[in-house]
Structure 1
Amino acid sequence: MSKFYEKVTYRDVEEDIQSRKSIDKWIFGLLLVVIGFVPLIVMASVVEVQSPLVTNIGALTGGAKGDLFTYYKSLLVIVVTVIASIMFMMKVLFMNGEIRKTKLNYAVGAFAVAIVLSTIFSPNISIALHGQYNRTDGAISWLCYLALFFIAMNIEYPKKAIQYITYTFVPFVLFNFIIITLNFYGKDLLQKSWAQKLFTAFLPQGAALSEGSTLLGTLNHGNYMSGMFAVMVIMFLAKSIMDKKVFDKICSFILAIISVFVVLMSLSTSGFLTIVAMMIFVLWLAVKNEKRIVALIQVVVFCAISMTGIHVLAGENAKVWDETFGFFVSTNPYKEEVALSKSIFDFENRAYASDNSFELPEVAPSGVGAGSGRVYIWTYIMDLVKERPILGYGLDTLMYNFPHYNKDARANLETETVVVDKPHNMYMGILYGTGIVGFIAFLAIVAFTVWTSLKVVISGKSGLVILAVVVLAFLFQAVFNDTLPGTAAPLFILIGTLFKMVTDKSGNIK
């Protein structure tokens, strides 16, 4: 009888092991959908917005609002998160699955609680819950990011998981390169009738794209394109250095070059600065590589092609220089200086009415402040944080609480009529949205992530360095950019994957 029970028990254990393996494969497949497909979605939608303010400012009023980039991205992220969470709970409850015991769990839990509380006590609860109609980066999205991160940290991966992850990004790189190249050379994809029909397939009867709409890429703005593709540059360049096979090296190198051209054509400095900063780690990987000379030649060739790309593209649009080396050098060799001669009738642009003339107050000159106006925005955000320091205002509600039309806005944002709708900094966004409580918990997650990533990079030998440099690049570019479902969800999955692969069950680094 005892042998019978032993056989049954053994069979049950084996069945649980096989079931866990099977469900982990399905979950990994769902995570790949978020990584590779979500950032590609471009589909117009109409959302009914109920503004918390009574105002005549167009951007702040309610009503039917159109969105092209985030609604369906966030919808798919939510669907995948729900399905993956159900499967994960089945694994834990019915298949003897384990949740890894690590101090990071406390930080994730504390941050999730802070998000919930900040939403409940937000002055703009509905906005804090869903986020702005054209960003969808509120509490629901952030809880999904955390859930996907936690799930990714607690599943088993196939041996070639890192290759699968990098390959999944290939369509994202290629499609966006085509789209942004067409846009850069004045042949925007949205001007094609077939593209308009495709992107507006789910719009209600009578709705259409606004006249003059353009498509830079599958992400909302050049800032996001620049930051995200800087991450792609670092990922594929690191992969090219670490790859053993010549064919894989060449393919990864080409994808890195394509990605850097996307960064240049995005006309945003954040991606360029991220690449410059992360080249320290790339050089370290090259030095630590078994084929050091080959790896260093790859880095030199990459830099040479990138410099050539800046020259060629800046010849087409001088702003390419402004958004790259223009950050360090004030003069732009690709801009023609236009000499303005004074007319004899100009009289130095002054009009005289009488000796006791009345002089209007001097208007501040139009200009851009430090960090393309970011420092100006961050300064006012810190003033807002002082008013609600504990739980903040709720995520993605900045547009409805920022003090617009300041007298110094013209000197920092070019015009005083600019409506600030985002903090342009993931960390400032968390501090503003969730207060000090959430910010501390989030910083704990970031600290764990940075420490783990640096340990992996310093080793310089494991294939995990590809994930490590990607994570570091994402966290660096986040100093200049906000999060979106199409950028944050894939990268939080990669952070969870890195933790799983580099630490043991107790959370200690292997």
Structure 2
Amino acid sequence: MKTNSREKPINFFFPIAFILGIVPLIVRLTFIEPDSNLAKLYGTTKRSDLFSQRKALFLLIFAIILVGISVVFFKKIFDKKDKIVNSILISSGVFLLFTVASAILSPYKQQAFYGMYDRAEGLITIACYMIIFIYSIYTFKTTDNYNYIVIPILIVVAINSFLGFFQYIGQDLIKSDLGKLIVVPSEYTNISLTLSYEAGKLYGTLFHYNYVGSFVAIILPILFCIAIFEKYEIGYKLFACIGSLLSIWLLLGSTSRAGIIGLVMSIIFGAIIFGKLILKRRKQFLIGLGCIIIVAIIGNFATKGAIFARIPSLISDSFSVFKDTSDFDYREHSAVKDVKNTDTGAEITLANDTLKIGFENGNYVFKNSKDEIIQFVRTNDKDKSYKTDAQNFSNISLQFAKLAKTSSRADGVIVNIDNKTGFMFKLKPNNTIHLVDYSSGIDVDVVYPDTIGFKGKEKLGSMRGYIWARALPLLKQNILIGSGPDTFIFRFPQNDLIGKYYAYDTTNMVVDKPHNLYLQIALNEGVIALLAFLAVMIIYIVDSIKLYALKNEYDKDQILGIATCLGVIGYLFAGLFNDSVVSVAPIFWIVLGVGVAINFINRQKLKKICNKSL
């Protein structure tokens, strides 16, 4: 018996909308028990995590669901693809294979598999990225599914814009009573949230204002292209236009220079690809661009120049890259030249003299390079600091403290220079003195690591020059495999205290990320994994340019293909200055998967047209 009713096909791409709309918005306080590796950096105190662990957990849950769907409906989901898609999948497989190998062989197993606190990008999370990437490629069957990308993105943009406004004016709703009720579990209600973000910057639910820039670099090209070029109904275009303006607000309110660079590069690529169409529709394009510029100028005026405050530093950094500073030695320009431990004490070499620290007859003793005693007297009852009238040490202040809870005497002395957090020394039971780490209290010796490049440019890009100079030499140890996902923090020479003091004006900090997506992959997963990652990106972008560049007209599918590619390009250029993070990376991998799928759809259409014309 025949029936006229047709079974409605299952839209397997729909679950992706939940990942896009839910994961970036998750904010929930959790605590991490430090293992022995983490304790060496931060001590044994539990570490709190507000933005990463729960995102990673929900991403894992969604990834398991996607795997389950793929297994049950394998034949309906996975169809045959062409050589370009297969090349991308093979490269992705190589990337994942070397990531797995790096994790298995890593000496930092806990972090390599589960990720660092505040990051949570271990092997499990990266495997989830690969799952949602491949799932997106195979389940995005038609550009009608693009609504499942745009609508969740608009929701995330709207919520982050709302939260970001209050963060920008210094009234962070996450720290409000209602916010704490949502993000803090009931067993931790007495805990005070200390978020070290000042007014004038927003981060929404994306952990840090820098990652807001990476987020905007992905989604703004997509929303802008839909608002300007897409052949959607007016209501849909209006929402895309509003989303574009809110994205501009997020970018400028975050002050993320990486996001600005990513956006500028996507605009350049967009101008090349859309070149002929822009000339034909320049009025429409200029009106849209003009609206964005006007909104940005009004916002900057309303905030008394705060929105554009970091633009001058971006320009100055760009010019400073080309300056010849090959003969620059940062130690000659630092207030501290060297710190070393001696048999009984320690010595701090300054510009004009050396401060020697010892312990004699039950008292701390301070001497100059001539072994003359320098008297320090208490000058401030509030912070219990001590200073001296000796001219060569007039910029030094001392603080004494009990570092061990069981200590009956001041067993620690902190030496601050130029009112900046300097160096901590601990008095041992045998009355010797040794330099120790601020957080862990473990004995340390100052190291002077190998560097590559960036001499005299250590402060470039908010000290990225300092990090890159010391991270690049580590690559030679990572040609085949890396030290494990999310383990950069253990590889970086954290005891480069003089370098830190010059770059950051403090030694009391830990460098936990390379501030570069590509260094992050190369050092954590290995250079081969980085090459595989780059292969995926290059194959996809070259394919997109071949498909879309410099056409007179574009249909809906092609415009969406271009918009998606520009979003990927924006993220990759922002990645020159930002890392991968679980707050944003799932969005990128989904958008990339959709881009690969749309390119496949458009190639198939071109083949049909070519076959018909033959």
Q: What range describes the TM-score normalised by the shorter chain of this pair?
A: 0.7 to 0.9
Listed as ranges, the matches of 1:316-327 within 5 Å are: 317=306, 320-327=307-314
Partner Cα distance (2:195, 2:499) in 1: 30
Change (3 A) 1:212 1:222: closer
Change (3 A) 1:98 1:66: same
Q: Which residue of 2 aligns with 1:455?
A: 546
Q: CA deviation at 1:275?
A: 2.1
Partner Cα distance (2:250, 2:525) in 1: 33
Task: Choose 153-162 or 178-187, whichever is displaced more.
Answer: 153-162
Matched, 1:100 2:81: yes
Q: Residue 287 of structure 1 contacts residue 296 of structure 1 at CA under 8 Å; is this kept in 2? A: no
Q: Residue 77 of structure 2 contacts residue 139 of structure 2 at CA under 8 Å; is this kept in 1? A: no
Change (3 A) 1:437 1:326: closer
Matched, 1:167 2:151: yes
Q: CA deviation at 1:96?
A: 8.4
**3-state SS in 1 of match to 2:545:** helix
Of 590, 596, 599, which residue of structure 2 is paired with 1:502? Answer: 599
Q: Deviations over 1:300-343 (max 9, x none)?
A: 3322332333343343x4xx33422431158xxxxxxxxxxxxx
Matched, 1:30 2:127: no
**3-state SS in 2 of match to 1:133:** coil
Q: CA deviation at 1:379?
A: 1.9
Q: CA deviation at 1:175?
A: 1.0
Q: Residue 132 of structure 2 contacts residue 589 of structure 2 at CA under 8 Å; is this kept in 1? A: yes
Partner Cα distance (1:96, 1:130) in 2: 30
Q: Residue 370 of structure 1 contacts residue 412 of structure 1 at CA under 8 Å; is this kept in 2? A: no
Matched, 1:435 2:526: yes
Gaps of 5+ in 2: 318-351, 354-369, 371-389, 396-416, 421-456, 608-614
**3-state SS in 1 of match to 2:33:** strand
What TM-score, normalized by structure 1, do the two folds share?
A: 0.82
Give the counterpart letter for 2:277 in structure 1: K
Q: Residue 248 of structure 2 contacts residue 292 of structure 2 at CA under 8 Å; is this kept in 1? A: no
**Count of residues paired in the alignment:** 464
Q: Residue 209 of structure 2 contacts residue 255 of structure 2 at CA under 8 Å; is this kept in 1? A: yes
Q: Which residue of 1 aligns with 2:580?
A: 483
Q: Which residue of 2 aligns with 1:281?
A: 269
Listed as ranges, the matches of 1:74-85 within 5 Å are: 74-85=56-67
Matched, 1:110 2:100: no
Q: Residue 122 of structure 2 contacts residue 486 of structure 2 at CA under 8 Å; is this kept in 1? A: yes
Give the counterpart letter for 1:251 in structure 2: F
Change (3 A) 1:286 1:439: closer
Give the counterpart letter for 2:121 in structure 1: D
Partner Cα distance (1:505, 1:91) in 2: 25
Q: Which residue of 2 aligns with 1:309?
A: 299
Give the counterpart letter for 1:288 in structure 2: L
Q: Which residue of 1 aligns with 2:179?
A: 195
**3-state SS in 2 of match to 1:77:** helix
Q: CA deviation at 1:507?
A: 9.6
Q: Deviations over 1:477-496 (max 9, x none)?
A: 11111112221112111111
Matched, 1:70 2:52: yes
Matched, 1:492 2:589: yes
Of 352, 370, 381, which residue of structure 1 is paired with 2:471? Answer: 381
Pick the structure with greater CA Rg: 2
Give the counterpart letter for 2:79 in structure 1: E
Partner Cα distance (2:490, 2:244) in 1: 39
Change (3 A) 1:238 1:301: same
Q: Deviations over 1:321-377 (max 9, x none)?
A: 3422431158xxxxxxxxxxxxxxxxxxx99xxxx9995799899996112211221
Change (3 A) 1:400 1:293: same
Listed as ranges, the matches of 1:389-400 within 5 Å are: 389-400=479-490
Q: Residue 544 of structure 2 contacts residue 599 of structure 2 at CA under 8 Å; is this kept in 1? A: no
Change (3 A) 1:122 1:48: same
Partner Cα distance (1:365, 1:288) in 2: 58
Partner Cα distance (1:359, 1:205) in 2: 49
Q: CA deviation at 1:236?
A: 1.6
Q: Deviations over 1:198-235 (max 9, x none)?
A: 111x3535662435666831011111012212333222
Partner Cα distance (1:280, 1:452) in 2: 17
Give the counterpart letter for 1:145 in structure 2: Y
**3-state SS in 2 of match to 1:474:** helix
Change (3 A) 1:82 1:508: farther
Q: CA deviation at 1:85?
A: 1.2
Matched, 1:294 2:278: no
Q: Which residue of 2 aligns with 1:178?
A: 162
**3-state SS in 1 of match to 2:459:** coil
Q: CA deviation at 1:136?
A: 0.4
Q: CA deviation at 1:288?
A: 1.0
Q: Residue 46 of structure 1 contacts residue 203 of structure 1 at CA under 8 Å; is this kept in 2? A: no
Partner Cα distance (2:419, 2:518) in 1: 31
Of 240, 244, 252, which residue of structure 2 is paired with 1:256? Answer: 244
**3-state SS in 2 of match to 1:52:** helix
**3-state SS in 1 of match to 2:147:** helix
Q: Which residue of 1 aligns with 2:253?
A: 265
Partner Cα distance (1:173, 1:98) in 2: 34
Q: Which residue of 1 aligns with 2:193?
A: 210
What's the RMSD between the two structures over aligned residues? 3.4
Q: Deviations over 1:25-46 (max 9, x none)?
A: 1x31211111121111111122
Task: Choose 362-371 or 79-88, whichever is displaced more.
Answer: 362-371
**3-state SS in 2 of match to 1:321:** coil
Give the counterpart letter for 2:507 in structure 1: E
Listed as ranges, the matches of 1:12-31 within 5 Å are: 21-22=9-10, 25=11, 27-31=12-16
Partner Cα distance (1:263, 1:177) in 2: 10
**3-state SS in 2 of match to 1:395:** coil
Q: Which residue of 2 aligns with 1:141?
A: 125
Partner Cα distance (2:151, 2:211) in 1: 21
What TM-score, normalized by structure 2, do the two folds share?
A: 0.69
Q: Which residue of 2 aligns with 1:229?
A: 216
Matched, 1:411 2:526: no
Change (3 A) 1:468 1:505: closer
Partner Cα distance (1:444, 1:328) in 2: 31
Give the counterpart letter for 1:437 in structure 2: I
Of 453, 460, 465, which residue of structure 1 is paired with 2:562? Answer: 465
Task: Choose 153-162 or 63-72, whichever is displaced more.
Answer: 153-162
**3-state SS in 2 of match to 1:419:** coil
Q: Deviations over 1:151-202 (max 9, x none)?
A: 11112434422233112111111111111111111222134211111111x3
Q: Residue 283 of structure 1 contacts residue 299 of structure 1 at CA under 8 Å; is this kept in 2? A: no
Gaps of 5+ in 1: 1-6, 12-16, 331-349
Partner Cα distance (2:39, 2:53) in 1: 25
**3-state SS in 2 of match to 1:328:** helix
Q: CA deviation at 1:99?
A: 4.9
Change (3 A) 1:425 1:360: same
Task: Choose 176-185 or 320-329, whichever is displaced more.
Answer: 320-329
Q: Residue 405 of structure 1 contacts residue 418 of structure 1 at CA under 8 Å; is this kept in 2? A: no
Partner Cα distance (2:179, 2:489) in 1: 31
Q: Which residue of 2 aligns with 1:340?
A: none
